[in-house]
Structure 1
């Protein structure tokens, strides 16, 4: 039976690392935000439960709705590296979109959704919304009933959702919510991976150019992608070999030019 690849994304503070630990049934991921940009674009966790095996990739999401050039290039480099890795290792089987219930930054939530689901995976990977921070609600599902229309307003379309708490070691009156949350998350992960006949999605030829064109639709700051600046950032800030940086800078500029229909 094949190992399924699950990509977990969402902004910092949404509880992604805690969701990894919830699924695993043990402390695999540090719950402090210790990932650094470029040098650590994601963390990979092997997880097994109910006789099935998974690899969960905890990724860095977008944090600011108004990106500067550095954030823009981070998103490109991180996405390119992840897709290249997973294209060789079975593709992507499932997206888990982690959002803290009651989050005020819905523009950032929408940007992360568009980046990963619409543009990174071209709407071809099942996506499950994982709503965290509901340990104060005895009936956690009630939150979704009262707030579903907000996600509809921001055009966030999902295949499924789950309302949970990923906060472990709660007092006795709430610990049952944690155990219930584990059961619910594992059930949905299995349903949308091992219970599906389709293979994992792969980017394939032409994916990167399509992705860079789409990424220009994000609300970014006023910047011009100059060839020399792009290469400098990729080599000095992201540690990319110069030859690779030159080629990637060329692809980024070509994709951006086609996406904006203006010269840079």
Structure 2
């Protein structure tokens, strides 16, 4: 059986990221709002077929406005650890999602974190721009903003302008929106199949004898990137024991491996 194409979809809350994933997968998951959005939380969709390929999407909440220039809560750090632990099979492609507006430092920071900090520039990435129903054609956004995107050091294999919204306020326009959603779905799926790597790129070795050290090295690399790039630091009073319990009880590491990870990682 052919292995599925694994895709990590990231972006801030409110960008239409989950609506995009729902439309691509043909399945309904709850769309988060800003109050419920928690950095690095993720949900995995069941595999679905598209153009003869099996695809698995992981919908991940990226950095939000509230995390910029602040101390990240321990909960956010543990969610990051959980995301990375659950990524043991790797990914064939990254998709960044944001709304059709001028790029901000928030989009730049999310790109840097996922593409450079976590994937270490080893996984191709495409940009899906939502909310393009106000442009005619939708690809107009790409033509107007391509030069600015490239000058911001954001390198994508492709930029896909989309609409995944529904005309809930003006129902007479829903047939038009439905056509745009279908058009957008086909364009994104085609890009996934075109740009995905043949085999998943793994963040760490989850099968070898040095599993705990490999995971700890990867986690430390990501954390040091965040600390240097975003000036993050952790308030670690009595956190080591909590983190060990989290690794054992939630992520199902053995206690021996959990303590090795903390020792190798040497959080500070």
Deviation of the 1:53 alpha carbon: 1.2
Residue 41 of structure 1 corresponds to: 41
Aligned equivalent of 2:146, options 137, 145, 148: 148
What displacement does 1:250 show? Answer: 5.1
- TM-score normalised by L of structure 1: 0.78
Instruction: Tell me what 1:228 maps to.
Output: 238
Structure 2 residue aligned with 1:214: 225
Which range moved further: 26-35 or 93-102?
26-35
Q: Aligned partners of 1:29, 1:84: CA distance in 2, in Å?
A: 22
User: Considering only aligned residues, what root-mean-square deviation do their CA atoms show, in Å?
Assistant: 3.0
Q: 1:160 aligns with which of 141, 158, 161?
A: 158
Unaligned runs of 5+ in 2: 168-172, 205-213
Counterparts of 1:57 and 1:18, CA distance in 2 = 13
Distance 1:48 1:117, change over 3 A: same
Offset, 1:141: 1.0
Q: 1:137/1:100 Cα in 2 relative to 1: closer, same or farther (>3 Å)?
A: same
Would you say 1:66 and 2:69 are equivalent positions? yes
Contact 1:3-1:52 within 8 A present in 2 as well: yes
Corresponding position: 1:31 with 2:31 = yes
Aligned residues: 242
Instruction: Evaluate the alpha carbon distance shift between residue 168 and residue 117 of structure 1 in structure 2; reply closer, same or farther with a 3 A threshold.
Output: same
State the distance in 1 between where 2:114 and 2:71 align. Answer: 19
Where does residue 8 of structure 2 map in the other structure?
A: 7
Looking at structure 2, the residues matched to 175 and 226 of structure 1 have their Cα atoms a distance apart, in angstroms, of 49
TM-score between the two structures when normalised by the length of structure 2: 0.77
- Unaligned runs of at least 5 residues, structure 1: 257-264
Deviates further, 203-212 or 118-127: 203-212
Match of 2:203 in 1: 203
In structure 2, relative to structure 1, the CA distance for the partners of 1:147 and 1:207 (3 Å cut) is: same
